[in-house]
Amino acid sequence: MKKEEIRNNIVRVRERIRQAALAAGRDPGEIKLMLAAKYQPLENLLAAVEAGETLFGHNLIPQLETAEIGLREAAESLSDPTALRHRTAVIGHVQSNKLSAAMEYADRIDTVDNFKTARRINHRRALLNEKDAADAVYPILLQVNSAHADTQFGCAPKDLPEMAKRISEELPFVKIEGLMTIGANTADREAVIRSFEITRALGAQLRELPGLSEAKELSMGMTGDLELAVEHGSTMVRIGTAVFGPRPGAPK
């Protein structure tokens, strides 16, 4: 896809977000745009960065690594490296043997759906802190399987509050910033809305827990359902197709 096309698509998506926010009586500034980067060549990501985008999400850790290294190299070869200031999150399932690479290359993991994974992140961050004489925390989102879909990862909604409580009580080097969900993958509007509302209600419950009053992120909404997601409380939509077009080389 051409640079110009990507730039125009971004303008269109941002306008969709703005219209959806206004229709819902929300401030458009409350909703962040994360670009879903899976299977995109580096030049497409660079085009988005040049268009002013600063947030990327990756599903696959090898692609995350390649893209981050590529963006850093591009930044070094530019006279103005701040032009490439961006943040990246992991938005796909992470196997435990990929966790340390995920933490090295991404600023946040948005798909934590069990205590054990959170404990591994905490442990890894604790080791890095020892080495660096630091007390940094690693940010995460908890992924909710809000549509009860067999094909999706995510914590069951009924188990989420207990898991969140345990993570926040027992893991000092992990910081829960909110929730992420994919939601119902269907043309049935009501089912999609139900999954977003389940997630929104869990977010409210989360913020009642000690230490989690600031866990406000609700990452939900993709190309096909971003308006519904914004209407139902999303603070971050994850958009791939509407910006980059069909994914070259992705498995069907």
What is the Cα Rg of the chain in Å?
A: 18
Decide if 149 contacts 189 (C-beta within 8 A). no
Among 21, 36, 46, 49, binds ligand PLP (CB under 6 A): 36
Count of residues for the chain?
252
Nearest to 143 by CA among 121, 163, 119, 125: 163
Among 148, 188, 241, 248, binds ligand PLP (CB under 6 A): 241
Instruction: Name residues contacting ligand PLP, limited to 46-65 (CB under 6 A).
Output: 59
Q: Which two tokens stand for residue 212?
A: 């989690």
How many other CB atoms are found less than 10 A from the CB of residue 39?
17
Classify residue 135 as exposed, middle or buried by CB count within 10 Å of its CB (0-12, 13-18, 19+). exposed
Report which DSSP code applies to 157. Answer: G
Minimum gap (Å) between residue 240 Cβ and ligand PLP: 3
Q: Does 149 bind ligand PLP (CB under 6 A)?
A: no
Report strand pairing: 87-90 vs 55-58.
parallel
Q: Does 120 bind ligand PLP (CB under 6 A)?
A: no
Instruction: Name residues contacting ligand PLP, limited to 219-238 (CB under 6 A).
Output: 222-224, 238
Q: Which two tokens stand for residue 94?
A: 């992470």
Q: Does 239 bind ligand PLP (CB under 6 A)?
A: yes
Minimum gap (Å) between residue 219 Cβ and ligand PLP: 8
Q: Which range touches ligand PLP (CB under 6 A), out of 48-56, 77-85, 144-152, 218-226?
A: 218-226
Minimum gap (Å) between residue 16 Cβ and ligand PLP: 11
Using CB under 6 A as the binding criterion, the count of chain residues that bind ligand PLP stands at: 14
In angstroms, the CA 76 to CA 97 distance is 30
Q: Does 175 bind ligand PLP (CB under 6 A)?
A: no
Q: Which range touches ligand PLP (CB under 6 A), out of 48-56, 113-121, 155-163, 216-224?
A: 216-224
Closest residue to ligand PLP, Cβ-based?
240
Instruction: Name residues contacting ligand PLP, limited to 80-99 (CB under 6 A).
Output: 91-92
Minimum gap (Å) between residue 80 Cβ and ligand PLP: 29
In angstroms, the CA 20 to CA 163 distance is 32
Query: In sequence order, what are the beta bridge partners of 35?
Result: 56, 239
List residues near ligand PLP by CB under 6 A: 36, 38, 59, 91-92, 182, 222-224, 238-242
